[in-house]
Amino acid sequence: MDLQIAEQKINEIRSLLNQYGYEYYVLDNPSVPDAEYDQLMHELLELEERFPQLKTSDSPSVRVGGAVLDLFEKVEHRTPMLSLGNAFNEQDLRDFDRRVRQAVGDNVSYVCELKIDGLAVSLRYEDGLFVQGATRGDGTIGEDITANLKTIKSIPLRLRENVSLEVRGEAYMPKGSFEALNKAREERGEDLFANPRNAAAGSLRQLDPKIAASRRLDVFLYGIGNTGASGVISHSEALNYLDHLSFKTNKERRKCATIDDVISFVNGWVEKRPHLPYEIDGIVIKVDSLEQQAELGTTAKSPRWAIAYKFPAEEVVTTLIDIELSVGRTGVVTPTALLVPVKVAGTTVQRASLHNEDLIREKDIKIGDKVVVKKAGDIIPEVVNVLGDQRTGDEVDFHMPTHCPECESELVRLEGEVALRCINPKCPAQIREGLIHFVSRDAMNIDGLGEKVISQLFAEKLISDVADIYMLTREQLLALERMGEKSVSNLIKAIEISKSNSLEKLLFGLGIRHVGAKAAKTLAQQFFTMEKLAEASKEDLIAVNEIGDKMADSIVAFFEQEEAKELIKELVTAGVNMEYKGAKPVSAEESDSIFAGKTVVLTGKLEQLSRNEAKEKIEALGGNVAGSVSKKTHLVIAGEDAGSKLTKAQELGIEVWDEEKLLVELNK
Ligand code: IVH
């Protein structure tokens, strides 16, 4: 067969496979028997093997899974992947509706969708071609799992139109695939997955795409990153547009004109939920109009235009066998209930935090009690209450110890706190927990260095502070339990990558008392380098918005310690970055830009920049971005479909720019 004929044949087969795949996996309406699809795929693979120059990245053959990866690359999301606020009852939904109507008026309609219990993914298409798929990660940076996502047959490799866009949705494992997978694993004597969500996440986090290909995963898309070019003006239109482009969306959605309609939709699904072929954990309610969505905006974590109604948590009864104590990073000693293992909301639960002694007294918990257990927010196991009438008299009272279970120093109760603390700074438990915190996702985000590996390294005395992580050698890591060549070289790469993290990740990772992830970001933006922050006085710190007295004291005290100075020196020597890498907001006085000291309001949809990007850039030039238009507003940037804010600006005679003008001024 010559090249030309092969190319023709390959194109023919690809187009048939694409069509059959779409009918089968997206429309759920196959037009040919499975064997015919398999036969065609076989032919295609053979032809591509003979003529490798004809392979393409959008060939249906990539569905079988390509080369094994060394590591998932990190992907920065162009717009952050937010999460949703939760509603747990009818009142929460009515409150949400009231907030929405207060902000945008009474002319609101909602779209209700099933909340699929899987993991969030973002898919990027350029000129109609699927180019990159990523996990949510920490919302700003996810992982590139393109090769694994390409094995999901309902994800189109090429769209019906040559558009460039980013779509978001939920990848999941259908209940049937989950049961079949666990059955096969049981037969092979392998560990079982606790629920479909873990199984889906576990499959997409494998470096070998053939594993994902064998797992029968699926996806529902529920949103478009940039709707600008499509002419779409509502969420319901966006979903229809996704259908049109050949994406798989969930059809159990409903447009609701009132919150009463929303509530009846939600209640209907409480009954129907068990009969679905996939797991859902709630209903997502979204304001339909995109203009109203833009007007409502987002908080740091979640949009104000949507909410997730979570189904009530399942409650089960089990026995509390014992209470165990653990010492956290800040020395707090926490009692944990050890339970007779019991299945709750899809996973087996055998431990639940009891938080502190007061809570144990309040709930009158004794060792040996029959207790009701649920998963709060469907994730964290919690003892709801004790079944007092089932006591036999053999139950035993629990008392908190007077000394640290790990280092035996005396525990103290700080003024105004319920918790008991170990205040020995050399307590091994605290040091170990601090190390676990340092490598965690919101801190230095070092993959492959989880709790288990850190605990081993610490027990073997290979690390005693965070700087030691950067001194680890290949040989030391290879000597650990369950660490092969591959995982060691991945770990070394991950440690290396973490050296270039922006300052806020390191600051948060250092575990300075009262400095959370958000404060760390503010500090990094304001002081820019570790050196400047270390030199800052209490007054300098308090002058920063959001930094209070307590935090300022704690920061000053941290940098005064000789150990801290030494540690930072060691980190610098190891090559760890000490600078903030994002845009730096400057004060109006420092800036000579046209934005200096101006209050700017963004409205409507921007094409080239996300709202966040625009805000960061304006602030970097000394401007201040506000949410609503008032007499104090100096300037309004009106994107496409701008609404009431634009009207108000015009009424007040405020200067209005379009996006193009904004870009010109930003780039001056
Ligand atoms: S909308 C801005 N719609 O629920 C946030 N999310 O915290 C947009 N999820 O992991 C999310 N089904 O992936 C939306 N129909 C649906 C969803 C859905 C599942 C997930 C989402 C995220 C979590 C929200």
**Per-position DSSP letters for 214-276, written without gaps between them:** TT--EEEEEEES--GGGT--BHHHHHHHHHHTT----S--EEESSHHHHHHHHHHHHHHGGGS
Dihedral angle over CA of 211, 214, 215, 219, nearest 10: 100
Q: Does domain 428-498 have CATH number 2.30.140.10?
A: no
54 marked ligand binding residue: no
Q: What is the pLDDT of residue 189?
A: 66
pLDDT digits (tens, 9 = 90+) for 79-94: 889 999 999 999 999 9
37 marked ligand binding residue: yes
pTM, whole model, 2 decimals? 0.59
Centre of ligand 1 from the C-alpha of residue 169, in Å = 7
Q: What is the pLDDT of residue 416?
A: 84
Structure tokens at 107: 């002319």
Q: How far apart are CA 57 and CA 63, in angstroms?
A: 10
The SS3 call for residue 526 is: helix
Classified by CATH at the fold level, domain 85-310 comes out as D-amino Acid Aminotransferase; Chain A, domain 1 (3.30.470)
- Please state which architecture CATH assigns to domain 3-64: Orthogonal Bundle (1.10)
Q: How far apart are CA 129 and CA 92, in angstroms?
A: 41
Structure tokens at 491: 């770990």
- Tell me if domain 428-498 and domain 503-574 are identical in fold: yes
Classified by CATH at the fold level, domain 599-666 comes out as Rossmann fold (3.40.50)
Q: For the chain, how are helix, strand and coil distributed in percent, rounded to 5?
A: 40, 20, 40
Indicate which residue's Cα is closest to atom 17 of ligand 1: 115
Ranges of each domain in the chain:
3-64, 85-310, 314-407, 428-498, 503-574, 599-666
Classified by CATH at the fold level, domain 503-574 comes out as DNA polymerase; domain 1 (1.10.150)
Indicate which residue's Cα is closest to atom 10 of ligand 1: 120
Q: What is the pLDDT of residue 210?
A: 93
Q: Which residues of 468-492 are buried (b: 16+ CB within 10 A; e: fewer)?
A: bbbebeeeebeebeebeeeebbbbe
The answer for residues whose C-beta is within 8 angstroms of residue 539's C-beta and 6 or more apart is none
**How many CB atoms are closer than 10 A to CB 656?**
17
Which residue type sits at 340?
Answer: V
Q: What is the pLDDT of residue 278?
A: 95
Atom of ligand 1 nearest to the CA of 115: 12
Cα end-to-end distance, the chain, whole Å: 59
**115 included as an active-site residue:** yes
Class in CATH terms, 314-407: mainly beta
Instruction: Check 9, 55, 74, 115 and give the catalytic one.
Output: 115
User: Do 229 and 285 touch, CB atoms closer than 8 A?
Assistant: no
Q: How far apart are CA 524 and CA 546, in angstroms?
A: 13
494 marked ligand binding residue: no
Tell me the pLDDT of the chain averaged across its residues. Answer: 91
Residue 172, beta-bridge partner list: 218
In the chain, which residues have pLDDT < 50? Answer: none
